[in-house]
Amino acid sequence: MSRLLLVSLLAVAAAAPSSVSPQNEALFTEEIPEPQYLFENHNPDVTDSGLELFESDMVLTEEQKLDRKAAPNLWPGGQVKYAITSTSVPDRAAIEAALNHWRQHTCVTFTEVSASFAGEPHLRFSKQSGCWSYVGRTGWTSGQDVSIGTGCTGLGTIAHEVGHALGFNHEQSRPDRNNYVTILTGNIQDGRSGNFAIASNANNYSVPYDYTSVMHYGSTYFTKNGQPTIQVNQLQYSGLIGSRTGLSHRDKQLANAMYSCAASCSSPPACQNGGYVSKACSCVCPPGTSGSRCQTVTAPYYGSICGNQAITSAGTVSSINWPSIYPRNQNCFWIVTAPAGRRVRITFNTAKVLYRYSDGNCYWDWINLYTNSDNSADVNACGSELQGKTYTTTGNRLALEMHTYAGGSYPSLQTGFTASVSFV
């Protein structure tokens, strides 16, 4: 069960003292869930049973440690038995919701057995330290553990661990990942660089790389200084990685390919543009496509990015819906390009988003500024830290990124920003 922070004056003062004044004490009475990040990527090096964790939440068999290859050890026929042990009974509803999510979108079946079952390989859900799983089917008739520890009960988090149990590696460990992301090794916690290794033998079944995969690390996983450890090569897609809202289209596509879901269809359709054949023997089309076979492309896979990426005139830039509260679960970009030979200057007249956490990081809301014409943020801020501040670029491009919390709206803390932009 997730721990909660009571946003009282004392709690907020501890997390971000510069953003709270005594006269506003009455405003800070809302509850904000503690960052899921703290539970997802700060697992210990070993499980409660002394098993070594690989890439933070996977336990590998000895054979897998040698070749890093998980895909071959699938569940025959996509049939998976599972048991919910006594420690996970309080989390049954969350576990069942995640299994139903997999059932709905794939041909994999999940059949519950008793906690004492030991007749054939199966999953054993238990509440241990952290969120972790073995990768693929181990073959042990006594069952293989899937730990749903404290803070691990979100739909996407359990779906992520079940994904490992079905044979999924992390998305950013794919052999082609360097075409899409850059690993910033200087920001990774000491001794954690192995979490960002490439699985050279992984089989991706021709499914394209997916920033929105539920199996992808977030941008600051295992950071030692609050700065990104993973940098998306296409800046405007930076906010897509680390999603834990559920399976992406390509996650579903990969699972259906791994488990040959179309094989049960007598005459499966030839889906186009990244569509796949569902267990109902019809095409499931990716975002931005339509038609019975996904033959019509109407938009990019990732859709449009909120904000404005084509600003070429001086003026005002404001958060979405300003002066009303900005929408939840958004990652918006504003890109300002000055005439050749000139620089961009931005002054924040108002800036107020959810505050910096007590460990010094911005987990819920944040605003990043890119002032050096590269894809590394030069300023990472939250709370009211940008209010009244002015920044000038070194070149003729300014990028402003605003990430908003998915879990709830807090009007007293989330009034957004408005800023003046000029060319100098």
Q: What are the CA-CA distances from residue 6 to residues 12, 13, 328, 406 (Å)? A: 9, 12, 20, 18
Lookup: tokens for 375: 């894809």
How many contiguous H segments (helices) and E segments (strands) does the chain have? 6, 23
Lookup: tokens for 202: 């992984």
Lookup: tokens for 240: 């897509």
Closest CA to 51 of 167, 154, 147, 157: 147
Kindly report the number of other CB atoms within 10 A of residue 389's CB atom. Answer: 14
Strands (E), 7-121: 31-33, 58-59, 79-84, 109-112
Tell me which of 161, 171, 385, 401 is the catalytic residue: 161
Q: CA 168, 172, 178, 179 torsion: positive or negative?
A: positive
| 315 contacts 345 by C-beta, under 8 angstroms | no
Q: What are the CA-CA distances from residue 66 to residues 61, 62, 69, 120 (Å)? A: 9, 7, 8, 25
Q: CA 154, 230, 146, 74 torsion: positive or negative?
A: positive
Type of residue at 349: N
CB burial string 191-226: b at 16+ within 10 A, e below: ebeebbebbeebbbeebebbbbbbbbbbbbbbbeee
Is residue 161 annotated as a catalytic residue, yes or no?
Answer: yes
Strands (E), 35-118: 58-59, 79-84, 109-112
Max CA-CA distance within the chain? 73
CA distance 365 to 346: 20
Q: Which residue has the tokens 């054939």?
A: 120
Pairing, β 131-134 against β 58-59: parallel
Lookup: tokens for 129: 């330290």
Closest CA to 37 of 410, 395, 357, 339: 357
Q: What residues are labeled active site?
A: 161
